[in-house]
Structure 1
Amino acid sequence: MNIMLTSAGRRAYMVNYFKNAVKGKGKVYVGNCDENAVSFLYADETVITPYIYEDGYIDFLIDYCECKNITLVIPLFDIDLYILSMNKAEFEKKNIHLIVSDISVIEICNDKWKMKCFLEENEILTPKTYLKIDDAVKAIEEQEIKYPLIIKPRWGMGSIGVYEADNLEELKILYSKTNREIKESYLKYESKQDYSKSVLIQEKIIGEEYGGDIINDLKGRYQNTIAKKKYSMRAGETDIAIITKNYMIENLGMKIGKRLNHIANLDADFIVTDKKETYVIDLNARFGGGYPFSHCAGVDLPKAIIMWLQGEQVQKELLLPQFNIKGYKEINVCK
């Protein structure tokens, strides 16, 4: 089985995970629009793709997959999820398995306003969120929320355009700054859906930060949730974390997984307050930057994906972690 990872960027570890999973019985290809992507150094073969929103991107990927006999495609970038999900049927016509959830799931995860609405509808705690400065100011005046407030892109990822405001003056300045950064970055593509409402204002929840890998099979059936306590973050990604047993996060993960019916991994962020209230902060329908900690603790979702596609039964042990395993990301130089 030949596998392609799209928009792999610096996620070289994902290349190695899939190379180990395929066990020499196929190649792992990496596609990226930047020839300097470090993941290229680890792939069996590489290709420089058009930009995701360029005309011809989908045709390019399908043609390349057919040429290289690639039957499994896994996107690793939020913007890629939206475009690929919209064109999932085109891949299926060519017998190419695309590991991306239905567009309804991608829209909930990529659009943080829709995510907030989904969580509230399912009675899951999430920060109070507003689309207008006036609404946020009114909430402060009525003591529903208080400063500091978080300003962030509605269709955002990583740490682009995310700021913290301690007063009204900062709120107005940083709101405008986030708007500008959206239009000057790749966030502009999905934000075109509604530029006038592309920035969110959110209450800041204080507490311990956790991540979670919410795993479903390829038919959207819930399998497991792996919780990890975060010790360090860098540019929106987890640097140090420990795998932990947390029943609240596991129960929330099961509830989310069964309601969303996503496929494969759903990367989730949580905050647990000193009152032991657990808030869901973010959902990403892909392998996230926190997955390596689950993998180091014994979970092997890449192998499970391949086994599911081949019609093999996946033993539950393959998706169960060892607890109290602490992982660290290192900075390394390669050539």
Structure 2
Amino acid sequence: MNILLTSAGRRGYLVNYFKEALENQGEIHVANSSIHSTAMMYGDHSVVTPLIYDDAYIPFLKAYCKEHHIDALIPLFDIDLPILSNYKTEFRRIGVEIIVSNKEVIAICNDKWETCNYLKKKGFHTALTFVTLPAAINAIRQGHICFPLIIKPRWGMGSISIFEAENMDELNVLYHKVEKTIQATYLSYESQQNIKSCVVIQEKLVGQEYGLDIINDLEGNYQTTIVKKKRAMRAGETDCAETVINLELETMGKRLSLVMGHTANLDVDAFIVEGVPYILEMNARFGGGYPFSHIAGVNLPKAIIHWLNGEAVEQSLLVANPGVVAYKSLMIIEHQTNAVPVVL
């Protein structure tokens, strides 16, 4: 089996997880729009692609999959998800299974305003959220919400342009700063859906933060929820976490799986606030917290390979040992890559 990981970025660890799971019974291909992406150095083969929103992107991926006999394609970046979700049937016709949730699930997860509305509708607790500056200011004046407040892109990812406002002056300045940043980055693409309401303002949840890996099979059937207690954060990423048993969060994960029906992993940021579980954000992909599940005994890449082969998955592959504390670290690697630059 040959697997292509797209928009791999710095996720060299995921490349290695899939290589180990294949047990030399296939190859892992790594794709990214920049040759200067560390994950490119870990695959059996790597390739530079057109940008995701380029008209040549999908034709390029289809041609690459045909030429290299790719069996499954797994996107690892939020922007990639809605694009590739639209082409699941088309790729299936050429023998390639795209491991991605349907476009409705992705739309809910990628849009933080829609995430909030969906969660409230389904009976989950979430942060009080506003999608316009006047609405937030009115709520402050009426005492419905108070500082500090979090300002961030509505269609945001990668911890880009997330700020905390302590007062009204900061709220006004930072709101417009986020608007400007969105237009100057790749966040502008999805934000075109509603450019006048592309920033959200949220109450700051104060409590213990957790990361959840809510795992479904490839048909959207619930398998398990892995709970990790976040012990250290850096720039929006989990630096240190511990796998724990928390029946309340596990039950919430199962409830969320049943209403979402996502494919494979749903990465969720959750809080316990005064004893009440809250959901802040969801990502319909392998999240930055998955390695903490993996090092504790979970092997979702191997489970995905079994599912693709039509094989049963042993429950042991999806069980995390509790009490495993792990850390992320920085390392320097020499630039050596077999990536082939694309010619447009």
What TM-score does the superposition give when structure 1 sets the normalisation length? Answer: 0.98
Task: Give how far 1:88 is off.
Answer: 1.6
Name the structure 2 match of 1:298: 297
Name the structure 2 match of 1:320: 319
Distance (Å, rounded) in 1 between the aligned partners of 2:262 and 2:159: 24
Question: 1:310 aligned to 2:309?
Answer: yes
Q: Which runs of 5+ in 2 are unaligned?
A: 335-344
Task: Give how far 1:135 is off.
Answer: 1.1
Distance (Å, rounded) in 1 between the aligned partners of 2:50 and 2:235: 26
Kindly report the root-mean-square deviation, in angstroms, between the aligned alpha carbons of the 2 structures.
Answer: 0.7
Identity over the aligned pairs, expressed in percent?
50
Give the counterpart letter for 2:292 in structure 1: F
Task: Give how far 1:172 is off.
Answer: 0.7
Distance (Å, rounded) in 1 between the aligned partners of 2:160 and 2:216: 29
Give the counterpart letter for 1:293 in structure 2: F
Structure number with greater CO (CA < 8 Å, separation at least 6) is 2
Task: Give how far 1:239 is off.
Answer: 1.0
Question: 1:176 aligned to 2:176?
Answer: yes
Question: 1:334 aligned to 2:295?
Answer: no
Task: Give how far 1:317 is off.
Answer: 1.4
Distance (Å, rounded) in 2 between the aligned partners of 1:206 and 1:187: 27
Question: 1:234 aligned to 2:197?
Answer: no
1:1-16 map, 5 Å: 1-16=1-16
SS of 2:232's equivalent in the other structure is strand
Name the structure 2 match of 1:117: 117
Name the structure 1 match of 2:137: 137
Task: Give how far 1:316 is off.
Answer: 1.3
Task: Give how far 1:235 is off.
Answer: 2.2
Render the CA deviation track for 1:27-64: whole Å, top value 9, x for unaligned.
Answer: 00000011011111111000000000001101100110
Name the structure 2 match of 1:256: 256
Distance (Å, rounded) in 1 between the aligned partners of 2:135 and 2:327: 41
Give the counterpart letter for 1:311 in structure 2: G
Name the structure 1 match of 2:165: 165
What TM-score does the superposition give when structure 2 sets the normalisation length? Answer: 0.96
Name the structure 2 match of 1:270: 270
Distance (Å, rounded) in 2 between the aligned partners of 1:235 and 1:192: 26
Give the counterpart letter for 1:324 in structure 2: G
Name the structure 2 match of 1:56: 56
Distance (Å, rounded) in 1 between the aligned partners of 2:236 and 2:91: 31
Q: Which runs of 5+ in 1 are unaligned?
A: none
Render the CA deviation track for 1:173-218: whole Å, top value 9, x for unaligned.
Answer: 0000000010101100000001001000111110111100000000
SS of 1:194's equivalent in the other structure is helix
Give the counterpart letter for 1:298 in structure 2: G
Name the structure 2 match of 1:281: 280
Distance (Å, rounded) in 1 between the aligned partners of 2:59 and 2:235: 33
SS of 2:159's equivalent in the other structure is coil
Distance (Å, rounded) in 1 between the aligned partners of 2:160 and 2:217: 31
Render the CA deviation track for 1:74-110: whole Å, top value 9, x for unaligned.
Answer: 0000000011112222111111010000000000000
Distance (Å, rounded) in 1 between the aligned partners of 2:237 and 2:11: 12
